Amino acid sequence: MAPRSNPFDALEDALRRLRQELETAYRAWNEDVDTRGGFGWSMQDREPMIDIADHGDSFVVTVDVPGYDSDDLDIRLGDRTLHISGSRERSRSPGQDGHLIKQERQASAFDRHVSLPAAIDPDDIDATLNNGVLTITLEKATPTDDRTHIDID
């Protein structure tokens, strides 16, 4: 019997995205905002989008994380939930002559939780980062026919 999906996953995802948009707008109002207009809502302020592919015996999760190094990222698996987070500091490097003329690159962070539709073998997970694309391969746990008898009190 296939496990039921959590009906609140979509709601939690929408609330998380709304929270992040509100935090981005708040930061834009409290910082020296560029005069181009808008609220500072750009792609670098948003959580990275995730693709999940089912390859039969494994899932492949692909995440766009441009500008992040492997040391900036943290990946954890717990109870069929993949947790991916990243944080990078604001670059303070001066221009060629030592005087910074303009600085648009900012510190950024994200935190994603993804529910997986099947159990994962925690000993068979591979993650690679190549040109700003994080690829995580998660082998599905092998189902067992081991049954445990449960006594009724």
Provide the 8-state DSSP code for 5: P
126-153 pLDDT tens trace: 999 999 999 999 999 887 666 766 777 7
- Residue 58, classed as helix, strand or coil, is strand
44-89 pLDDT tens trace: 456 788 999 999 999 999 999 998 999 999 999 988 899 999 998 8
In which band, very low, low, confident or very high, does the pLDDT at 27 lie, cut at 50, 70 and 90?
A: low
Q: Which residues pair with 50 in a beta bridge?
A: 63
Look at phi and psi of residue 63 and say left if phi exceeds 0, alpha if psi is from -120 to 50, else beta: beta
